[in-house]
């Protein structure tokens, strides 16, 4: 490979077809001189259109290649090689002085002195400063395993984006299984019930993490009682704009009824219903308010989440079960939309309350397709307070337009799998962690299981990886007819 030209931002490299065939988009090269080098990333290639200087460089390149192998007499193969000679288009990611990589250097390599070579994982990790103290193996680069530091996910927002079936959930499972070993405590909002086997190996036997994974299936092995939730949480639910959106006047009436019932005995859904009817009959409750409250009580009953004999809702105790690190998987797969919203809301609000009071240590939340069960502004609000509260957030979606714009700016780590469709590509190009051109030139070409990673995990250098396979029992196969 030979340096063709560089403006310090883009660098073009002339290379023989055999060399180009071994390179992929996203690979890193070093344009090396004595003591200083340019670190560049391949974005694509094109055919060479021969100009005078190119002719000279190509002749040098081919002579070097041929000198290694055969005689120069076979002119036709030389001409074929010239026709197929490529120009690699690369972006400059930094300039390496000794062992220090600087991003904003204006240095450009000499065409006569610089040598170009591909970097392997070890060299690249060293140059970009990936020296994980708490290593998390996530993928392969150039055949070698790339390990990132668990701390890069701590109190951070991590986005996992990509078209259906490309490996987003697979990556999330890999991250969870590795991070729990470092003490991360996860709450997983599992929309498709595909995290329920996190504690099992592919052959169905329990894995080493088995005891650290708690699967709650609301409505089945996890029920709620009104008294166990308490008036504060009920009022919060009634106020939820994306579910009950109750007027204040009705909420005040509800509070009065609840307190009366509590002083007389037990607060249950049936007792509430009965009391609202009786007040309506006696004329002590306005018809409109009574009807609004009755509708909401019935909606709560229809969620199937309530059992008046259920123990108190105690998230603090749940967290204690995963004290050494673990995951509490909330299986939302068999719940109605309303039931999902109720479950997610009570967990999130309770977690926030406990974190704000420092009653529990830091936690991590994994949410798949969060637009289906949380209110629109929820994550934006949470993300702004996340570092203060000690929350790490992992949001996973195949619909990038559901990621609120503010979060494009706030994302600490982005794992981007393949997108082909123009409108999705436009959406992800709003991510501020990475420039639009890199995204558009790499993302549509990623294979299944490959992703572009950028953020704290990669010290802000974009890397393309093949995500590691795992021995976790897979539940998330994308359903097809074939
Ligand atoms: N790196 C990988 N190695 C081995 N298998 C993988 C890898 N990535 C994904 N798979 C497999 O491919 C299938 C689809 O992956 P996954 O469920 O993670 O996709 P997804 O992006 O979450 O899709 P969806 O948008 O439908 O949720 C699964 O069976 C998964 O086990
Ligand atoms: Mg998935």
The three-state (H, E, C) secondary structure of 205-255, written as one string: CECCCHHHEEEECECCCECECHHHHCHHHHHHHHHCCCCCCCCHHHHHHHH
Residue 6 and residue 38 in one domain: yes
Q: What pLDDT is attached to residue 311? A: 87
pLDDT tens digits along 348-373: 989 999 999 999 999 999 999 988 88
Judged by DSSP in three states, 72 sits in coil
Indicate which residue's Cα is closest to atom 25 of ligand 1.
164
**End residue of a domain, out of 84, 119, 154:** 119
Distance 451 CA to ligand 2 centre (A): 14
Indicate which residue's Cα is closest to atom 15 of ligand 1.
167
For residue 56, name the pLDDT band (cuts at 50, 70, 90).
confident
> How many domains is the chain built from?
3
Question: Taking all residues of the chain, what is their mean pLDDT, rounded to a whole number?
Answer: 90
Cα–chain center distance at 112: 44
193 lines ligand 1 (CB under 6 A): no
Tell me how far CA of residue 225 lies from CA of 145, 218, 307, in angstroms.
48, 12, 5
Does any domain span residue 478?
Answer: no
Residue 76 and residue 18 in one domain: yes
Indicate which residue's Cα is closest to atom 17 of ligand 1.
476
Does any domain span residue 192?
Answer: yes
For 391-457, give the DSSP string: EEEEEEES-GGGS-HHHHHH-SEEEE----SHHHHHHHTT-TTS-HHHHHHHGGGPPTTEEEEEEGG
Phi, psi of 458 (to 5 degrees): -115, 20
Return the residue matching tokens 């026709």: 83
449 lines ligand 1 (CB under 6 A): yes
**% of the chain with per-residue pLDDT over 90:** 72
164 lines ligand 1 (CB under 6 A): yes
Distance 406 CA to ligand 2 centre (A): 23
Does any domain span residue 130?
Answer: no
Residue 287 and residue 209 in one domain: no
Does any domain span residue 472?
Answer: no
The number of beta carbons lying within 10 Å of the beta carbon of residue 475 is: 17
Does any domain span residue 307?
Answer: no
Does any domain span residue 457?
Answer: yes
Spatial separation of the C-alpha atoms in residues 217 and 200, rounded to whole Å? 17
Spatial separation of the C-alpha atoms in residues 171 and 146, rounded to whole Å? 14
Joined tokens for residue 37: 């080098």
Q: Is-contact 235 255, C-beta < 8 A?
A: yes
Query: Kind of pairing, strands 10-15 and 463-467?
Result: unpaired
Does any domain span residue 125?
Answer: no
Q: What pLDDT is attached to residue 99? A: 84
pLDDT tens digits along 427-480: 999 888 899 999 999 999 999 999 999 999 999 999 999 999 987 776 544 444
Distance 169 CA to ligand 2 centre (A): 4
Residue 443 and residue 333 in one domain: yes
Choice from 138, 159, 170, 453 to test ligand 1 binding pocket (greatest atom count within 8 A of CB) = 170
Cα–chain center distance at 311: 34
**% of the chain with per-residue pLDDT over 70:** 95
- What is the pLDDT averaged over residues 92-103? 93
**Of residues 147, 27, 143, 37, the one with CA closest to residue 459:** 147
> Which helix (H) or strand (E) segment is 156 a member of?
none
Spatial separation of the C-alpha atoms in residues 401 and 404, rounded to whole Å? 7
Residue 43 and residue 29 in one domain: yes
Does any domain span residue 115?
Answer: yes
Residue 353 and residue 458 in one domain: yes
Residue 199 and residue 298 in one domain: no
Distance 237 CA to ligand 2 centre (A): 28
Cα–chain center distance at 89: 29
Q: What pLDDT is attached to residue 370? A: 87
Judged by DSSP in three states, 69 sits in coil
Tell me the pTM. Answer: 0.91
pLDDT tens digits along 434-448: 999 999 999 999 999
Return the residue matching tokens 């990621």: 403
Distance 172 CA to ligand 1 centre (A): 10
Residue 147 and residue 111 in one domain: no
Residue 242 and residue 318 in one domain: no
Residue 82 and residue 203 in one domain: no
166 lines ligand 1 (CB under 6 A): yes
469 lines ligand 1 (CB under 6 A): yes
Residue 278 and residue 367 in one domain: no
Query: Kind of pairing, strands 450-455 and 36-47?
Result: unpaired
Handedness of CA 137, 140, 144, 149 (dihedral sign): negative
For residue 145, name the pLDDT band (cuts at 50, 70, 90).
very high
Spatial separation of the C-alpha atoms in residues 286 and 272, rounded to whole Å? 16
397 lines ligand 1 (CB under 6 A): no
Distance 369 CA to ligand 2 centre (A): 9
Distance 196 CA to ligand 2 centre (A): 13
**Of residues 81, 311, 326, the one with CA closest to residue 186:** 326
Q: Domain limits at 350? A: 135-222+314-467
pLDDT tens digits along 169-207: 999 999 999 999 999 999 999 999 999 999 999 888 999
Distance 454 CA to ligand 2 centre (A): 20
**Of residues 221, 225, 222, the one with CA closest to residue 306:** 225
End-to-end CA distance of the chain: 44
For residue 272, name the pLDDT band (cuts at 50, 70, 90).
very high
Choice from 139, 167, 369 to test ligand 1 binding pocket (greatest atom count within 8 A of CB) = 167
Kindly give the residue spans of alpha helices, DSSP state H, lying in 283-376: 287-302, 315-321, 337-356
Indicate which residue's Cα is closest to atom 11 of ligand 1.
167
165 lines ligand 1 (CB under 6 A): yes
Residue 342 and residue 285 in one domain: no
Joined tokens for residue 269: 């859904």
What ligand is nearest to the CA atom of residue 474?
A: 1
pLDDT tens digits along 212-246: 999 999 999 999 999 889 999 999 999 988 889 99
pLDDT tens digits along 64-86: 877 666 555 566 666 677 778 89
Spatial separation of the C-alpha atoms in residues 171 and 137, rounded to whole Å? 11
């Amino acid at each position: 490979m030979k340096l063709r030209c560089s403006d310090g931002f883009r660098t073009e490299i002339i290379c023989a077809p055999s060399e180009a065939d071994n390179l992929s988009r996203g690979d890193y090269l070093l344009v090396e001189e004595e003591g200083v080098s340019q670190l560049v990333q391949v974005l694509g290639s094109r055919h060479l259109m021969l100009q005078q200087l190119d002719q000279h460089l190509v002749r040098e390149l081919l002579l070097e290649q041929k000198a290694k192998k055969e005689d120069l007499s076979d002119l036709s193969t030389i001409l074929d090689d010239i026709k197929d000679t490529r120009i690699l288009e690369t972006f400059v990611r930094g300039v390496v002085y000794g062992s220090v990589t600087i991003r904003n250097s204006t240095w450009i390599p000499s065409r006569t002195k610089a040598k170009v070579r591909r970097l392997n994982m070890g060299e690249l990790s060293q140059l970009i400063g990936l020296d994980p103290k708490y290593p998390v193996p996530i993928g392969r680069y150039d055949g070698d395993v790339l390990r990132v530091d668990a701390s890069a996910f701590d109190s951070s927002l991590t986005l996992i984006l990509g078209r259906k079936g490309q490996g987003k959930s697979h990556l999330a499972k890999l991250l969870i299984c590795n991070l729990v070993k470092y003490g991360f405590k996860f709450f997983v909002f599992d929309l498709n019930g595909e995290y329920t086997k996190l504690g099992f190996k592919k052959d169905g036997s329990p894995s080493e993490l088995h005891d650290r994974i708690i699967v709650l299936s609301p409505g089945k092995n996890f029920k709620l009682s009104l008294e166990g939730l308490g008036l504060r949480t009920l009022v919060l639910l009634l106020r939820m704009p994306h579910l009950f959106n109750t007027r204040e006047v009705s909420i005040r009436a509800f509070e009065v009824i609840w307190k009366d019932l509590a002083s007389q005995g037990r607060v249950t859904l049936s007792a509430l219903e009965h009391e609202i009817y009786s007040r309506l009959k006696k004329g002590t409750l306005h018809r409109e308010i009574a009807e609004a409250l009755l509708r909401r009580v019935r909606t709560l009953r229809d969620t199937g989440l309530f059992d008046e004999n259920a123990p108190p809702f105690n998230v603090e105790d749940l967290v204690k079960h995963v004290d050494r690190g673990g995951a509490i998987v909330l299986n939302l797969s068999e719940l109605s939309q309303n039931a999902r919203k109720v479950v997610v809301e009570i967990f999130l609000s309770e977690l926030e309350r406990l974190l704000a009071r420092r009653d529990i240590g830091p936690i991590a939340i994994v949410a798949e397709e969060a637009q289906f069960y949380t209110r629109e502004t929820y994550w934006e609000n949470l993300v702004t307070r996340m570092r203060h509260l000690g929350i790490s957030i992992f949001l996973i979606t195949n619909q990038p337009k559901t990621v609120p714009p503010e979060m494009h700016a706030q994302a600490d780590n982005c794992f981007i799998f393949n997108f082909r469709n123009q409108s999705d590509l436009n959406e992800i190009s709003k991510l501020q962690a990475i420039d639009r051109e890199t995204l558009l030139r790499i993302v549509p070409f990623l294979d299944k299981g490959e992703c572009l990673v950028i953020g704290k995990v990669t010290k802000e250098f974009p890397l393309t990886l093949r995500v590691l396979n795992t021995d976790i029992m897979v539940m998330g196969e994308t359903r097809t007819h074939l």
